[in-house]
Structure 1
Amino acid sequence: MASLQLSDNMRLDPEVSKYIQVLDRTTRAEKVSDPDTWTREQRDAYGRGDWREFSRLRGYTNEEIDDFQMYLDLTYSLIAKYGEDDVFWIGYSLQEQTGVLGLTPQQILQDAESR
């Protein structure tokens, strides 16, 4: 958090700190997949916009699903408070700091497998 380029207001906001933590957890928990390999049930849930069921079908835990819901809730709350650009800057900065900025999920997975 200390190395992210944030305004003083954002740096002192506990909601921003929580957002950074949950954003990092959800990013690390992301399951890389090819839609061509999804089951019919997965495609149906995705097509209905039922991200919870889609996530369950893809093997996410209840904790991971709850984390993603928290990420969504915090995203909307912080956008209302600071604006879209500032909230997306947090994500950009975190990706830059963790070294995944500009990488596709497949590249991240390949990098992890090669270590």
Structure 2
Amino acid sequence: MGFVYLAALLAGIGCMLLLDHRFRLFFWHDAKAAAIVTAVGLVFLLGWDLAGIGLGIFLRGEGAIATGILLAPELPLEEPVFLLFLVLCTMVLYTGTRRILERRVQTQVAPGSSERERENA
């Protein structure tokens, strides 16, 4: 049972990438920008975790579903994988929501309106 959590995280990442691929939201929309955003987000969140660990705020809990492998004191192997999932999930949700809202605005503009009215909408 030691790899259940890691397997679930990897499955979640796979699902996010499948959604991304299907709707061309993040990596399949602009791979270079997505890689930069993902790397910056991951580094920021890992830094945040390490600062919390250093201050004694974040502690590793014992769990039967975790691997028990530590990358650093109080930093389990699953943590960077979870943070990667968090960044991917956030960006897929953000880009998907943005696309939905943009299409909603486009459909609310009357079909017979002028080009200027469409631009101001």
TM-score normalised by the chain length of structure 2: 0.29
Query: Which structure has more helix as a fraction of its residues?
Result: 1
Query: Which structure has more strand as a fraction of its residues?
Result: 2
TM-score normalised by the chain length of structure 1: 0.30
Bigger Cα Rg? 2
